[in-house]
Structure 1
Amino acid sequence: MTTRILMICGSLRAGSTNEAALRTALEVLPPGAAGELYAGLGDLPHFNPDDDRDPLHPAVAALRAAIGAADALLFCTPEYAGALPGSFKNLLDWTIGGGEMHERPVAWINVASPAAPTGGGDAHASLRKVLGYASAGIVEKACARIPVTRRDVGPDGLVHDPAIRARIADAVTALVASR
């Protein structure tokens, strides 16, 4: 049986190292796994609890359906102003009411450079907190800090450094093994 991993990038920036890490994760999936990169972050409306009812906005319904169809989730998000980027937090807010993340295995890859003020630690502490509210199953062995710089990303949007690719592969393999 194939393990389906939904990969969600918390950055809307073109050429994001976070997206490059997830695109690379798609390339290094272990046998028996399939992945999909979620592309609807920018399409989600601002979260309003009054709108968290049927009929849902089509972008919200698509997000919840994608999460519900996945066996596991892999996040990669930057830190912005000491927390999660607003658009990514908005996505997470839309997941709370649906219950699709309940006990679903989740992990994240932190690609912040060592020079970043907290190395992305504040964003990931926030992510951990929100995922706790969603009752997601955090797979600690699959959560990894793997710094990726813009120089590490090729023109094709992938990371080609063998050591970095191996570390990304290890994280994805640990997530798949948790199933």
Structure 2
Amino acid sequence: MTKFLAVGGGMRSESLSSAILRHAAELAHHCRARAQVLTVRELALPMFDPDVVTRDDPAVRRLLEAVEVAETLLIATPIYGGTPSGAVKNLLDTLHLGKRDLVGPLHGKRVTVAAVGGGALASSYSFQRGATGTLEIAAKNLGAWVDPHHVEFSELQFDPDGSLGDVLARNDLLTRIHALLGASRRMAV
């Protein structure tokens, strides 16, 4: 059974990027993967400072252990100023503590990146490419194989209860999860 980790999300209690993580985990579970969700809000990672933060910090250890056992990941972020949130960037910076023998903690893992934009940028996908592009670069630098098809959402695609109501958006997410899990299963053979 493929191990899938949905990680990132937002700091708000009703974060739509965190909702994407939950939707993705649910879809992965239906695809017979063992799914786990870790949001930046629940992790409450310390601000990354390589002189201070260590692998011994409980939040850091939890993150690194989850990443280590995962075979596939979805990394999702809210969009602020056309880029990932500071909390998600901090999570990615913290992953550098998982390097061993110059090998990144995402080495050999399959990753899909996603972003949720809102407000004045809700219908402008050109701004979302900056966020998902940054996630892709960071994941590749940590050793991942990143799906070239990013998943980008507008807050307008969500229902008031936070569910992904837009059928096309939900199908896009399902397609990416299928591709991610399929690639991981093929690589394991």
Q: CA deviation at 1:32?
A: 2.3
Structure 2: which 5+ residue stretches go unaligned?
100-104, 185-189
Name the structure where helix makes up a greater proportion of residues. Answer: 2
CA distance in 2, matches of 1:122, 1:131: 14
Structure 1: which 5+ residue stretches go unaligned?
none
> Does 1:18 pair with 2:17?
yes
CA distance in 1, matches of 2:159, 2:108: 33
Q: 1:45 to 1:34 in 2, by over 3 A?
A: same
Of the structure 1 ranges 34-43 and 73-82, higher mean CA displacement relative to structure 2 is found in 34-43
State whether residues 9 and 21 of structure 2, in contact with CA within 8 Å, keep that contact through their aligned partners in structure 1. Answer: no
CA distance in 2, matches of 1:152, 1:126: 24
> Does 1:159 pair with 2:159?
no
Q: 1:47 maps to which residue?
A: 48
Q: 1:151 to 1:72 in 2, by over 3 A?
A: closer
CA distance in 2, matches of 1:107, 1:158: 20
Q: CA deviation at 1:24?
A: 1.6
CA distance in 1, matches of 2:62, 2:108: 20
Of the structure 1 ranges 71-80 and 30-39, higher mean CA displacement relative to structure 2 is found in 30-39
Q: 1:97 maps to which residue?
A: 97
Equivalent runs, 1:34-73 vs 2, <5 Å: 34-41=34-41, 42-53=43-54, 56-73=56-73
| Identical residues among aligned pairs (%) | 26
Q: 2:123 maps to which residue?
A: 115
Root-mean-square deviation (Å)? 2.2
Q: 2:146 maps to which residue?
A: 138
CA distance in 2, matches of 1:44, 1:172: 26
Corresponding residue SS for 1:120: helix
CA distance in 2, matches of 1:127, 1:84: 7
- 1:21-41 CA-to-partner distances (Å, cap 9, x unmatched) read 222222222432121110354
State whether residues 17 and 150 of structure 1, in contact with CA within 8 Å, keep that contact through their aligned partners in structure 2. Answer: no
Q: Please give the TM-score of this superposition, normalised by the length of structure 1.
A: 0.84
Q: Please give the TM-score of this superposition, normalised by the length of structure 2.
A: 0.80
Of the structure 1 ranges 89-98 and 125-134, higher mean CA displacement relative to structure 2 is found in 125-134
**Dislocated runs of 4+, deviation >4 Å:** none
Q: 1:178 maps to which residue?
A: 183
Q: 2:86 maps to which residue?
A: 86
State whether residues 115 and 131 of structure 2, in contact with CA within 8 Å, keep that contact through their aligned partners in structure 1. Answer: no
